[in-house]
Structure 1
Amino acid sequence: MVVTINHNDYEAEPGQTILQVAKQNGIYIPTICHSPHLSDVGSCRMCLVELENNRKLVASCVTPVTDGMKVLTDSERVIEARKTVVDLLVSDHPMDCMTCEANGNCVLQDLAYEYGIKESTFGTKKLPRFEIKAQNEFIQLDPDKCILCGKCVRTCKEIQMCNALDFVNRGFETKVSPPFDEDLGGKDSPCVFCGQCVEMCPTGALTYIPSKGKGRYYEFKKTITTCPYCGVGCQLELRTKNNKIIQVGSVYNENSPNPHGESCVKGRFGYDFVNHPDRLTDPLIKRNGHFEKVSWEEALDYVAEKLLNIRGKYGSDSIGGLSSAKCTNEENYIMQKFMRAVIGTNSVDHCARLCHASTVVGLGMAFGSGAMTNSISEIEGSDVIFVIGSNPTENHPVIGSKIKKAKKNGTHLIVADPRKIELSEIADISLHHKPGTDVALINGIMNVIVNEGLLDKKFIEERTEGFESYIKVIEGYTPSKVSQITGVPADKIIEAAKMFGLAEKAAIYFAMGITQHKYGTNNVLSLTNLALLTGNVGFESTGVNPLRGQNNVQGACDVGALSDVYPGYQKVSDPKIREKFENYWGVKLTDREGLTLTEMFEEAGKKIKALYIMGENPFLSDPDQDHVKKALESLDFLIVQDIFLTESAQFADVVLPAASFAEKEGTFTNTERRIQRVRKAVNSPGRAKADWEILTKLANKMGYEMKYNSPSEIMDEIAQVSKLYGGISYERLEKGGLQWPCPDVNHPGTKYLHKDGFSRGKGKFFPVEFAPPEKEADEKYNFTLMTGRMLYHFHTGTMTRRSYPIDKHEPDSYVEINIEDAKKLGIKDKDRVRITSPQGTVETYAKVGQRVQPGQLFMPFHYAESPANKLTNRVYDLKAKIPELKITPVKLEKVEKRVSRREVLIDERFTSIRRQE
């Protein structure tokens, strides 16, 4: 159809609005309440245009075009109407632009300037009228500056899915408010401080509460980069001033996992650590029990000499290396290359061994590729979503919001988790099974699908193998039998099976609740069986989708920071592959598979004499803290390369100061296999260097030449040695992320895997029998402890515990206890409690409620003063070598003497000092 705007004809599509057609043709129409990321309501009337056909003034954002429509965007009537709109808004608005946080970045200010409104002709109302809400650590709400555009309300309802804001009152008393007129951080507020409302606000009604200095929008240097927290890989804008990150803004890019500028509280506010005074600034060598600052030259000479001596005395396999899911792809590539080409060992690993090793093994066995099969953007296209062993709204909040949005728009949701999580509350079917019974539950669901004839026979015949042996096992898992094992009612199992089996497009999402078990690989294989049985893999909005826990755990695996594969998952045991890398790297490589992370700690002081840890904190993250302590102390030589003197670094002989993500160039690969750029926004403190620079300098000192002028050159080498990254270059990534496999420069990247066939040929069924956890609750240790993450903190707390607003908001550890158990033990909410396992004892605070079932406990592992992993046991999956962090038998008791957090921290500080002395 043809639409005439300002006497010029333009092509338009049916359903488009006047505003959309005008924008796509470069015609300016001012807006306030409109956003391309939100539904349009046409409430502000700023986008009024005139229809020549009937002389009507209409809101262009909500008026669809018609063939032959004639529109005027700047007639006298339109201009006068817009002036009146601005005039009315100014009459009800404070005129304190000079001190307003939004000065220079305010739509109302811009419009007042454009239309020459110096003061309102309607007079000015007496201000202030409303109370400012700023009792939290993150966001201030000033209703007097609100112009009632409703963008914050719609953002919270349509993107974040929290409903934390809405309009209250009527007439001149109308305002935007959290529930019950509380602060955003009030006890009844569902706000999770994602900050998206601030980004959408066109005035200074919603602003960030500064924690590291103030600044105007126009003063900031703006750098687009990738979030350093979970595996979603949100694109963010770092706003810096005087070499400090002051704010984190939204990036709106369709070719990203957060196209609407979404973030979570960590991504938005967890950046004080970058400029924290605790940052390491100089290399340190421990002499007589004390760390001394030294030059880079001295430190690297010392490290090179020690490693060469240990290798000469005990052999190459006496040295192990831990790479890092926090570091870039380029740095992980250099680390594994350093260990293989310089040291001469394959004993290199990283924290994927603790979170998703069973995913890599299980998906690799069944499909041929150990990665998330589908993309984040496909979530809303699924007919059924099955979430098991994952708490996305806390651990992967942007994905959690997308699942909530899909549910709101008609997608059915099944959630299986021992705890009651947020998604459990909105799920069509919520299954609370006993910890460690995942295989039985999934087998039970498949039993019903088979018996109801809901399996995809054509898919099974054409694209799978191993069905005959698999089906024999499934026959024994009747709903009644599975109910006895799992504690889930049989009718719920049947209902879930029918819902999943009847769906045209069903997707599975899981995380560490599935993987961190002795039988974690079997858990993953059960899920691959379910997808193969129903034909839900190799198609859009389906698949088996592991949600990666850290920003670059996927990339670290991809580029070879694993003990059995080179970059691109090429086996070190394959002579042809090994010869290829020998030619690329110009060195003879060992044919022995290396030790995994967990095996290195078992062999510390025995086979392993020296350990090089880059960006990991195993003292807090690994199971059985006392065992880790003994392992670190038993080493002949320990090097830790990090941004802080972490709990692990305090055991080191040499500490090397590294650059944070905000201080270097590189790439991260997110959970959906999307490779994205990381860009330098600020300078590193003191003499800290990027990890790749440190490693290359050390390699050169040890006699192996590594010459790279930039991380982009390292990525070029990765592209040469791995087909998965074959088409990746910094030049291409400037336009947005690319998903592997991307084999050549003309390839657009791969949205979902296994479209035309599996990497291994055919998808394979694996018959998996249920086996109970190795260690279960008994008379002495009568509770089952589960560990995991929470919304406000991350991993070992190295970053978030040093981010002021986050740590102030959530300063204390806790253990979740069912209200029935609490009553029996005389424990009240916030009481001090003691948890004991065969591995150790920890004290923390009680959080009494109904999130966990009777007999179960849940504890986050972020807090050094209450380290959950002091309790966990060293039971390992035999295939993946991942520890069983989700099931630890413990006993619980009330501590009569209440200890303040300050006393605990002081005690920890003195313990740390004594350790150094």
Structure 2
Amino acid sequence: MVRLTIDGTACEAAEGALLIDALSAAGKMVPHLCHDDRLIPSGACRLCIVHVKGQTHPVASCSTEVAEGMVVQTRSDTLDALCRTNLELIAARYPRTAYAADPRHPFHRLLAKYDVPPGGKFEDGLFRDDSHPYLGVGMDRCVYCERCVRICEEVQGQFIWEMAGRGDATRVAISKGPTLLSAGCVSCGACVDTCPSGALFDKRIVSKPTAWTRTTCAYCGVGCQMDVGTANGRVVAVRPADQPVNRGHLCVKGRYAFEYNHASDRATQPMLRRDGRWQAVGWSEALDFTAAQLQAIIARYGSDAVGVLASSRATNEENYLAQKFARVVLGTHNVDCCARVCHTPSAKALKTMLGVGAATNSFDDIEQAHAFLICGANPTENHPVVGARIKQAVLKGARLVVIDPRRTELAALADVHLPVRMGCNVPLFNALAAAMIEEGRIDRAFLAERVSGFDTFAAHVAAFAPERMAEVCGVPADAIRAAARIYADSRPAMCFHGLGVTEHLQGSEGVMALINLALLTGNLGKPGSGINPLRGQNNVQGAAQMGCDPATLTGSQSISRAGPRFEQIWGHQLPTGRGLDVLEMMDAAKAGHLKALWVMGYDIYLSLANATATAAALAALDLVIVQDLFVNQTAEAFGTVFLPAASAFEKEGTFMNSDRRVQRVRAVVTPPGQARPDWWIIQALAARMGKPKGFEFETPQQIWDEVRSLWPDGAGLAYARLEREDLHWPCPAETHPGTAVLHRDRFFASKTAALVPVAYVPTSEQTSDAYPFLLTTGRGLHHFNAGTMSYRTPNAVLKPSDTLDMAPADAACHGLVEGDMVEVSSRYGAAILPLHISDAMQKGQLFCSFHRPDLLINRLTSAVRDRLVHAPEYKVTAVRVKKRDA
């Protein structure tokens, strides 16, 4: 800390801190226009000037660092006069009408404070843009602070805005294309968020917020913190919070795609299907019917004839109750969640090899990494805030290797892009390991102290030399070797992986092969390193961690070891039979063994692979209970009971993000109609089934306290701490600081971890004359999963449809042009969607997202599953394509 004096008062500030921040901490706010805490200081507006003893002229506090003994004066007649003069120059060509219409903008408040009227001498013909559904542009109100240019460059890294012209003719302009939409804007809203004058503005705010509430984003697993503005019982605005995960930034979904919460087709009443049609009923009737049906099925077929699917959209507290309900009320371990189909392979591999089935490092480590290995993930689209942080690190000099069949945005920035052939991750990862060992690019000290099984592993991967695997993987050997050198030599190196690794026949084994690379190079147990799955949904990590898994209890604890403690606290014996995962439930339903299914916040008909087989399974059930915000595809086609749930904006609790942070969720509005939080519904049904004991919580906090009593690694995560601290588990006590980096000194089971030789097992999904293309599926920037939320917002304007992405050479060969409607057929089904010709695609390989329910892309995907945990192989399907006749 350094000591300084501000207006006669002794103060302290961190060494290297900006003077403007020290002034703010001391309660001495100075005027400014060009300053934003998220940006590199520029000192351009000269409004934040102060006197510093020993300096001949006033200095800009936003670009001056504090120094020991500094003496600062913030107010004087000279400073006021200089500030007023600078404001007059800035305001000379600012429109009076804008000033009068909205006095709340920071620039307007400054004008009022210093009694400086706008000059009104603005130019005609300055850039305006009304094409974007969210962002409005009126450059007649621009004050040339350049914050929009800088934040697009320094935070998002999109470079949409630029300063064009020279001298007095300098103007803020779009860098490419005539409009924001055509220029590549990703609609993050950062430029609007930073603009002090209203030149850039949110078009969707029709009511001024009367209250703001801090909560956690309900889209991807990054866990961005945001402030939600409400008025008249509705969500009307969202702005980013300056918290460690997102650092004052949001993506297009988190910031703008909230209007689903008040959509006209929101389900607000319980319903029963009678005579083939939904009929609205009260809660008592719906609960009585559901309880009676479940009891009758259990009485006739046994407890294991019922399954429960919890939700990655729900809170930790609600997911905990869901699995407790399955085990205590129903008497079955048949409970799972959508983690099964995305990152259960990650959890399996990480827990098997390292002892904990979660990310090893924090997002805070991104800025400490010297290199990144991005495997089967597209962070700038699927986890945009983390993607932007990675992009910024690369722009500042970090090395980057991207392994992905497509040339993604990060692949275009990479030092090396390995466009691996779909289904060939394991031989490629083994080839990287072989190259590192052959060239001596391994951390021998780390291997000697922390790793076992090296000799056996080295002998195994010797057969996977890059020159041997090049043809198998579709990647040149010299590129494989170049990638190996970057990851091995640029330590610490941080590995992120996504569903392009896990959703394969060898998904779990693919993650194991990545862990091998980290063990070989010592990239574990230190900041800026590790193996880090990018979780897809807001609480998919939490849902699994709460015990929504047939083989583990809360805290990912084994039933055999932790079971007695759970039985003691719950006052109930655990089931003795083996539970089924979601894929096994579908098999059991089709075979007639599973009779009832309760599905919470999870549209399984739309989102499970091989939709035809899913439909056959759901149709065979006697009872399908759907609990959601909307009557989704599963409910519409197969539902027996519909229970309306509250959204994340309407309830209290916690989410768990990708890097193991537990963060608060807060209610900002009340649920519509008779919609209720999931935890309320679970408890009400437990009571109707005659087992209210253990389901009589009055608040989510009480539920969470029971979770902490059962989960040693979460015992320290009390609500009181979560209100003020940003904590990672493990956090075993309320005095513990949390654990941002795992495995610093030892792995959970022992001091050492073993390298695992992984054999290559090719998928059965191979091309043929009848099916000459390989299709992979994934998410896009503007929409999310089944489109349930995002397609009920103006994001549907930004991305109206899923498309089939094809390489230009393939399109030309088949006589196809941009926008053609094409029929894509696999061995399992067909889908019709528009064609997009993309340079990101390799010849012979295709991509499409799966967000539009009416397209039902999962009619195409196969029945192939991960060999260890049954995650479907969404990432490789052999298909053919033909143009649809008009």
The aligned residue for residue 114 of structure 1 is 113
The alignment status of 1:184 with 2:170, answered yes or no, reads no
The aligned residue for residue 628 of structure 1 is 614
The alignment status of 1:150 with 2:146, answered yes or no, reads yes
Q: 2:652–2:666: 8 Å Cα contact kept in structure 1? A: yes
In the superposition, relative to structure 1, how do residues 54 and 861 fare at CA in structure 2: closer, same or farther (>3 Å)?
closer
* Structure 1 letter corresponding to 2:611: Q
TM-score by length of 1: 0.94
Q: Distance in 2 between matches of 1:767 and 1:116?
A: 74
Deviation at 1:340, TM superposition (A): 0.4
In the superposition, relative to structure 1, how do residues 47 and 716 fare at CA in structure 2: closer, same or farther (>3 Å)?
same
The aligned residue for residue 857 of structure 1 is 846
In the superposition, relative to structure 1, how do residues 2 and 315 fare at CA in structure 2: closer, same or farther (>3 Å)?
closer
The aligned residue for residue 277 of structure 1 is 264
The aligned residue for residue 399 of structure 1 is 386
The alignment status of 1:262 with 2:249, answered yes or no, reads yes
Q: How does 1:745-894 map to 2 (within 5 A)?
A: 745-761=734-750, 762-803=752-793, 805-894=794-883
Equivalent residues, number: 880
The aligned residue for residue 472 of structure 1 is 459
Q: Distance in 1 between matches of 2:514 and 2:64?
A: 47
Q: 1:50–1:77: 8 Å Cα contact kept in structure 2? A: no
Q: Distance in 2 between matches of 1:808 and 1:85?
A: 42
Q: Distance in 1 between matches of 2:14 and 2:714?
A: 38
Deviation at 1:112, TM superposition (A): 1.6
SS at 2:441 equivalent:
coil
Q: 1:479-521: per-residue Cα shift (whole Å, max 9, x none)?
A: 1101121111111111111121212211111000000001111
Q: 1:43-62: per-residue Cα shift (whole Å, max 9, x none)?
A: 11111223454541222222
Q: 2:159–2:175: 8 Å Cα contact kept in structure 1? A: no
Q: 1:130–1:143: 8 Å Cα contact kept in structure 2? A: yes
Deviation at 1:645, TM superposition (A): 0.2
SS at 1:667 equivalent:
strand
Deviation at 1:64, TM superposition (A): 4.0
The alignment status of 1:334 with 2:321, answered yes or no, reads yes
Q: 1:617-674: per-residue Cα shift (whole Å, max 9, x none)?
A: 0111101111111111110111000000000111111000000000000110000000
The aligned residue for residue 36 of structure 2 is 35
The alignment status of 1:657 with 2:659, answered yes or no, reads no
Q: 1:200-220: per-residue Cα shift (whole Å, max 9, x none)?
A: 11121111111xx6123xx43
Q: 1:696-741: per-residue Cα shift (whole Å, max 9, x none)?
A: 0100111112110100000000000011211112111111332111
Q: 2:308–2:599: 8 Å Cα contact kept in structure 1? A: yes
Higher deviation after alignment, 30-39 or 884-893 = 30-39
Deviation at 1:315, TM superposition (A): 0.3
Q: How does 1:461-860 map to 2 (within 5 A)?
A: 461-572=448-559, 574=560, 576-605=561-590, 606-650=592-636, 651-705=638-692, 706-761=695-750, 762-803=752-793, 805-860=794-849
SS at 1:398 equivalent:
helix
Q: Which among 437, 440, 444 is matched to residue 424 of structure 2?
A: 437
Higher deviation after alignment, 862-871 or 691-700 = 862-871
Q: Distance in 1 between matches of 2:847 and 2:125?
A: 45
Q: Distance in 2 between matches of 1:500 and 1:607?
A: 49
* Structure 1 letter corresponding to 2:783: H
In the superposition, relative to structure 1, how do residues 550 and 99 fare at CA in structure 2: closer, same or farther (>3 Å)?
farther
Q: Distance in 2 between matches of 1:504 and 1:28?
A: 42
Q: 1:676–1:736: 8 Å Cα contact kept in structure 2? A: no
Q: 1:241-282: per-residue Cα shift (whole Å, max 9, x none)?
A: 1111111112112xx3112x1111111111111000111110
Q: Distance in 2 between matches of 1:738 and 1:68?
A: 35
SS at 2:464 equivalent:
coil
* Structure 2 letter corresponding to 1:656: L
The aligned residue for residue 910 of structure 1 is none
The aligned residue for residue 901 of structure 1 is none
Q: 1:727–1:747: 8 Å Cα contact kept in structure 2? A: yes
* Structure 2 letter corresponding to 1:683: T
Q: 2:399–2:490: 8 Å Cα contact kept in structure 1? A: no
Deviation at 1:129, TM superposition (A): 4.5
Deviation at 1:3, TM superposition (A): 4.3
The alignment status of 1:227 with 2:227, answered yes or no, reads no
Higher deviation after alignment, 510-519 or 721-730 = 721-730
The aligned residue for residue 89 of structure 2 is 88
* Structure 2 letter corresponding to 1:623: A
The alignment status of 1:390 with 2:377, answered yes or no, reads yes
Q: 1:677–1:737: 8 Å Cα contact kept in structure 2? A: no
Q: 2:95–2:122: 8 Å Cα contact kept in structure 1? A: no
The aligned residue for residue 379 of structure 1 is 366
Q: 1:294-317: per-residue Cα shift (whole Å, max 9, x none)?
A: 010010010000000100100000
Q: Which among 198, 206, 209 is matched to residue 214 of structure 1?
A: 206
Q: Distance in 2 between matches of 1:468 and 1:220?
A: 66
Q: Distance in 2 between matches of 1:105 and 1:473?
A: 67
Q: 1:94–1:127: 8 Å Cα contact kept in structure 2? A: no
Higher deviation after alignment, 344-353 or 493-502 = 493-502
The alignment status of 1:141 with 2:141, answered yes or no, reads no
Q: 2:34–2:42: 8 Å Cα contact kept in structure 1? A: yes
Q: Distance in 1 between matches of 2:184 and 2:382?
A: 16
The aligned residue for residue 902 of structure 1 is none
Q: 1:365–1:764: 8 Å Cα contact kept in structure 2? A: no
In the superposition, relative to structure 1, how do residues 64 and 712 fare at CA in structure 2: closer, same or farther (>3 Å)?
closer
Q: Structure 1: which 5+ residue stretches go unaligned?
A: 898-917
Deviation at 1:35, TM superposition (A): 1.7
Q: Distance in 2 between matches of 1:124 and 1:275?
A: 40
Q: Distance in 2 between matches of 1:13 and 1:380?
A: 20
TM-score by length of 2: 0.97
Please report the RMSD computed on the Cα atoms of aligned residues, expressed in angstroms: 1.6
Deviation at 1:765, TM superposition (A): 1.2
* Structure 2 letter corresponding to 1:794: F
The alignment status of 1:202 with 2:189, answered yes or no, reads no
SS at 1:96 equivalent:
helix
Q: Distance in 2 between matches of 1:555 and 1:74?
A: 51
Q: How does 1:897-912 map to 2 (within 5 A)?
A: 897=886
Q: 2:96–2:120: 8 Å Cα contact kept in structure 1? A: no
The aligned residue for residue 909 of structure 1 is none
Residue identity (%):
38
Deviation at 1:824, TM superposition (A): 1.2
Higher deviation after alignment, 754-763 or 311-320 = 754-763
Q: 1:758-777: per-residue Cα shift (whole Å, max 9, x none)?
A: 11212121110112112211
SS at 1:475 equivalent:
helix
Q: 1:169-219: per-residue Cα shift (whole Å, max 9, x none)?
A: 234443222124622112xx1310001111111121111111xx6123xx4
The alignment status of 1:357 with 2:344, answered yes or no, reads yes
Q: Distance in 2 between matches of 1:81 and 1:461?
A: 65
SS at 2:58 equivalent:
strand
Q: Distance in 2 between matches of 1:99 and 1:432?
A: 56
* Structure 1 letter corresponding to 2:320: Y
Higher deviation after alignment, 610-619 or 752-761 = 752-761
The aligned residue for residue 76 of structure 1 is 77
Deviation at 1:168, TM superposition (A): 1.6
The aligned residue for residue 170 of structure 1 is 166
